[in-house]
Structure 1
Amino acid sequence: MTTDAMDDNRRTSVLVEGTPPMLVLHVDALRNNVARMQDFCRSRGVDLAPHAKTSMAPYVIDMQLRSGVWGMTAASVTQARQLVGLGVRRILLANQVVEDRDVSWLSRHLAAGRSDDDFLCYVDSVAGLERLEGQLAREGGRHRQVGVLVELGYAGGRTGARSVEAAAQLARRVTTSPLVELRGVAGYEGLLPREGMVVPPGLPAYLQGLRDLLLACTRDGLFRQRPIVSAGGSSYFDFVVDHVGPRSFDFEVLTILRSGCYVAHDHGIYHETSPLDGRATGQDRLIPALELIATVVSRPEPDLAILNFGRRHAPTDDRLPLVLGVFEPDGSRSPLPEAYVRRVDDQHAYVVLPVGARVAPGDRVGLGISHPCGAFDRWREIPVVDRHYRPVDLASPLF
């Protein structure tokens, strides 16, 4: 690189013009991750409805939509409304809809939408189904049937019917309703207990249950169109494809993965568990796209530096941020071997350093995060940067 080019990079880099702490999104990594996931899905004949809650950033969502995804997944009706505002035509709401106002919006959306719009939500109990039906009936039936997926859960887990038998009974009950249509089955494997292992021991059995549920519903003739089976976070979507992918059945199914964190990936849990990184065997891997940049404000002890970020700036639910290195005057980042974040306060981080590390107040440190879903929502604006940390765009989460 010439001196002039380096000077130009320094003048325009967020490392010079920005004020840490700040979260940046590396555009090359983002594009790589979107392409890698689409390649994976196409090669296995499955579709993808990325979970929008990871970023809720129009810049990121637009990139995912342009890559050819089936649609987008939402965690709440509020998110679904924002996705509709962004022009998303297919939405999978991976949750139950029980609030009256949420059902009212859903009814109005289906009544006003285009014929090619699609909206799916979950049911996991007769009580929940009856609440949904009751409010839909009060809306006067001015909409087409609401597409629902019967959710299968597991003991001690989050939502979802607790057995294949209970889920199958609920599916049969759904088919008696004039207000909703059974479109398929769904589940979520990402929170299964890992018990100290990379892959949860109970994962195969759970996915087999999801397969058995779809087979039972098909055998009973409960579907009026090609059934949907949906699962797949960002850790074990290869297992989902193996157990409930279209090649696992002797009839047509639409398998929809809902992975969301893949788009930004991370230096933590997904780095360890993703089939396109920690468990990968090939070279086409996901790349962490988020980096937290913070400033050293004090070095009060030989092995301790205090940085100006805390739990307000980075997720800590899985683990603390990882120290990637300290930035040099030319904008390069030098590693800090053995340095780690010991703990965080609201606004400060305690970084343990090897004795003799050349780190001083005013230095800037790059850090990786774990669990992107807890990163985007802490920032109103996230610079999208190139490899020289020059801003190319801005991601603004809609939280």
Structure 2
Amino acid sequence: MLRIDDPTLTWPLLTIDEAALDHNIGTVAAAFAAAGVEHAPHVKTHMSREIWTRQVAAGAWGATVATPAQLRTALGWGLPGAGRRAFLANELVDPRDIAWLRTALADGTADEVWVYVDSRRGVDLLAAGFAGAAPEVTARLGVLVELGVPGGRTGVRTVSDAVVLAVRVHDAGLRLTGVAGYEGPVAGGTSDEELAAVGRWCDDLRAVGAQIGGLVDGPTVLSAGGSAFADVVTHRLTVPVRDAAGVDVRTRVVLRSGAYVTHDHGHYLRADPWTRLGAAALRPAITVWGSVLSAPEPGLVICGMGRRDVSFDIDLPTPLVARTPDAAGRLGAADALAGARVTALNDQHAYLAVDPAAGRVLEPGDVVGFGISHPCTTLDKYRTGFVTRGDEVAERITLDF
């Protein structure tokens, strides 16, 4: 069986621990099922057919994507069932992409695709692109009004604006499906005040749902991201929704958590909504391996891994373990790295500050395993990854970025 230290491979190398990967997928699937919400994992995190196959097997509704190119790729993987359903969590504004989507829904490439709108122009572009389409084609296109936050990213800024836009979707002959958004811009941390702010945004999302339910054929979808704040959005969006007359509005909560699949040693480890939700703690699955190139002065080690190999947009990588290869390159035992930290990255180099008295001395040729912060901007630096059981490769995966 192939090993990560096989002569056909070299450093830097991206590995994903299989036990952690399966634990994370299973834990989140079970937590959402217990809460009565559906899951459309954001596959932009990994863009891997092999990982998406595992998420489908765990009960995902469909794949969330961020761009039309990702939509084409995910549907092109050709998986049945959930693999033929997708949620584009952005407004579709290019007539070429709209035409492609119409064809994909007509020829069976996709069974159902949802998209955002946050402008009258966006509604008009969709309506023009689907004008004259057969009813069974337009029935497979779901349109959700996106609710944003002042100063944030996309999405209309108020409940009233969202309701007005929903009416326009309905009147344009498109299938209004519900309301959605991304709660990330609402808060940067998990203090009580920040979690309360996320809760208020969820209440606004529900308020939109309460006013547009009469325009929706079937349950009104309420959808949020649910990565850093999965506990808040799960609790608040599952509260019953009632219209102005006090009549219950049937709702369907769909969360789009994506980074959970590998978790990390930084941002998502700190956020940790899963234990707040009552689930088991997730496990960091990604290790990026790089070799020690130089130890040019006391307290400084340079590794062959840099900005082109690992994320750095939120935190610098975390040195975890060091291993010394034998003469054939076979890795030895893993020693924990106490007191080592990355202080800077170049394109292909990492600067490690080390304590010479800490115990483990790093020398050129040693191999260091690094944890990461933010999997989305680590995985996109590779085209191939390795799902591992210890040092053995259980599966070689493609990363279709």
TM-score normalised by the chain length of structure 1: 0.90
Equivalent residue runs for 1:327-366 within 5 Å: 327-328=323-324, 331-356=332-357, 357-366=360-369
Aligned twin of 1:308:
304
Q: Give me the whole-angstrom Cα distance separating, in 1, the residues matched to 2:224 and 2:312.
A: 25
Query: Which letter maps to 2:298?
Result: P
Residue aligning to 1:299: 295
Q: Secondary structure at the match of 1:208?
A: helix
Which residue is 1:3 aligned to?
none
Candidates 373, 381, 384, aligned match of 2:384: 381
**Larger deviation: 246-255 or 18-27?**
246-255
Return the letter of the residue paired with 2:262: A
Q: Secondary structure at the match of 1:286?
A: coil
Q: Give secondary structure in 2 for the equivalent of 1:270.
A: helix
Number of corresponding residues:
380
Which of 245-254 and 66-75 deviates more?
245-254
Which of 123, 145, 148 does residue 129 from structure 1 map onto?
Answer: 123
Contact 2:228/2:272 (CA < 8 Å) preserved in 1? yes
Task: Name the residue aligned to 1:229.
Answer: 222
Partner of 1:80: 71
> Is the 1:188–1:231 contact (alpha carbons within 8 Å) kept by the matching residues of 2?
yes
Aligned CA distance change for structure 1 residues 247 and 164 (closer, same or farther; 3 Å): closer
The residue identity in structure 1 corresponding to 2:106 is: A
Matches within 5 A, 1:212-251: 212-218=207-213, 221-245=214-238, 250-251=248-249
Once residues 80 and 308 of structure 1 are traced to their aligned partners in structure 2, the CA distance between those partners, rounded to angstroms, is 34
Residue identity matched to 2:40: A
Matched, 1:192 2:186: yes
5+ residue gaps in structure 2?
243-247, 326-330
Query: Hey, what does 2:152 align to over in structure 1?
Result: 157
- Partner amino acid for 1:227? T
CA distance in 2: counterparts of 1:324 and 1:247, whole angstroms:
45
Look up the match of 1:5. none
SS at match of 1:170: helix
Write out per-residue CA displacement over residues 232-269 of structure 1, whole angstroms, 9 at most, x where no aligned residue: 23111111111112656644321111000100100011
Cα deviation 1:44-73 (Å, max 9, x = unaligned): 111100001000011100000011111111
**Partner residue, 2:370:** 367
Question: Who is 1:104 aligned against?
Answer: 99
Residues 369 and 70 of structure 1: is their aligned pair in 2 closer, same or farther, counting only changes over 3 Å? Answer: same
Q: In 1, distance between residues paired with 2:195 and 2:12?
A: 36
Q: Does 1:393 align with 2:395?
A: yes
Relative to structure 1, the CA distance from residue 67 to residue 281 in structure 2 (aligned partners, 3 Å threshold; closer, same or farther) is closer
1:39-188 superposed matches below 5 A: 39-86=30-77, 87=79, 88-113=83-108, 117-137=111-131, 140-142=132-134, 143-145=137-139, 146-178=141-173, 180-188=174-182
Q: Is the 8 A contact 1:50 1:69 kept in 2?
A: yes
Distance across 1 between alignment mates of 2:34 and 2:369: 35
* Contact in 2 for aligned 1:328/1:334 (Cα 8 Å): no
RMSD over equivalenced CA pairs, Å: 2.0
Partner of residue 245, structure 2: none
Residue range with higher mean Cα deviation, 355-364 or 161-170:
355-364
Distance 1:75 1:227 in 2: 22
- Letter of the 1:316 partner, please give it: F
Shift of 1:224: 1.4
Q: What SS does the aligned partner of 2:185 have?
A: coil
The C-alpha deviation readout for 1:66-119, integer Å capped at 9, x for no partner, is 1111111111121111121222121111110000110000111121128x9211
Alpha-carbon distance, 1:12 to partner: 5.1
For residues 149-204 of structure 1, the C-alpha deviation after alignment (integer angstroms, 9 at most, x for no partner) is: 011001111110010010011111111112x1101110111232326848455212
| Bigger shift: residues 245-254 or 149-158 | 245-254
Question: 2:274 & 2:195 partners in 1: Cα distance?
Answer: 17
CA distance in 2, matches of 1:251, 1:135: 31
* % identical aligned pairs: 37
2: distance between equivalents of 1:341 and 1:16?
27
Given that residues 242 and 248 in structure 1 are in contact (C-alpha distance below 8 angstroms), is that contact kept between their aligned partners in structure 2?
no
- Indicate how the Cα distance of structure 1 residues 29 and 196 shifts in structure 2: closer, same or farther if over 3 A, else same: closer
Contact 1:295 1:308 in 2 (8 A): yes
Is the alpha carbon distance of 1:170 and 1:248 closer, same or farther for their aligned partners in structure 2, counting shifts above 3 Å? closer
On the 8 A contact 1:45/1:246 being kept in 2, the answer is no
CA contact (8 A) 2:86 2:112 kept: yes
Would the alpha carbon gap of residues 210 and 280 (structure 1) be closer, same or farther in structure 2, given more than 3 Å must change?
A: closer
Given that 1:246 and 1:254 are in contact with CA atoms closer than 8 Å, whether structure 2 keeps it comes out as: no
Range that drifts further, 101-110 or 142-151 = 142-151
Please list every run of 5 or more consecutive structure 1 residues that lacks an aligned counterpart in the other structure: 1-10
Give the whole-Å Cα distance in 1 for the aligned partners of 2:321 and 2:55. 30
What is residue 203 of structure 2 aligned with on the other side? 208
- Partner residue in 2 for 1:274: 272
Equivalent position SS for 1:82: helix
Q: CA deviation at 1:144?
A: 2.1
Distance change (3 Å), C-alpha of 1:216 and 1:248: closer
Moved over 3 A (4+): 15-18, 195-201, 246-251, 279-282, 328-332
The aligned amino acid for 2:32 is C
Q: TM-score, normalised by structure 2?
A: 0.90
Q: CA distance change for structure 1 residues 248 and 38 in 2, over 3 Å: closer, same or farther?
A: farther
